[in-house]
Structure 1
Amino acid sequence: MTTTPELIHSYISNGLECTHLHVEGDGQHFTAMIVSPAFAGKRPIQRHQLVYAALGDRMREEIHALSMKTLTPEEYRG
């Protein structure tokens, strides 16, 4: 099965509370804008770890490259 931006969107949204989530990609390389209150008080690496946890084994098996911007709702409203 080919990984699509829609699949990645569903994986992330099912595993992480998001107030905004946008995923783009070509089947190999993906970018995601992820806004979640769970990121509050967390360093960037901790935020990415939360996303990786939501993706689980899919990060190793299905998704070859994922570039993410992770923001809290307050940062997103800026």
Structure 2
Amino acid sequence: MFPASEIKRLIEQGLPCEEVVIEGDDGVHFSGIVVSAEFEGKLRVRQHQAVYATLGALMGNEIHALQLQTFTPAQWAEFQKTL
């Protein structure tokens, strides 16, 4: 079983982020939000690949699935207005 807090720590360690929220209660399936200026001008698939790269070999092994929502800081600010 893998803790969501460790996924959060690894993402924050490997990618400059303004916000990282990771949830998951079964230890193998997770969902998360990652906000980073590094995503500026990148396609969504490239944003997700950048996050997955911070987790390396854990993806597909200890972490069976990670459903992501990625945002630039400006996109995140706009998204939060809709909540």
TM normalised by structure 1 equals 0.94
Structure 1 vs Structure 2 CA RMSD: 0.7
Q: Which residue of 1 aligns with 2:65?
A: 65
The separation in 1 between residues aligned to 2:73 and 2:43, in whole angstroms, is 15
Q: Which residue of 2 aligns with 1:13?
A: 12
4+ residue stretches of structure 1 with deviation over 3 A? none
Of all paired residues, the percent bearing the same amino acid is 42
Alignment gaps of 5+ in structure 2? 79-83
Alignment gaps of 5+ in structure 1? none
Larger Rg: 2
TM normalised by structure 2 equals 0.89
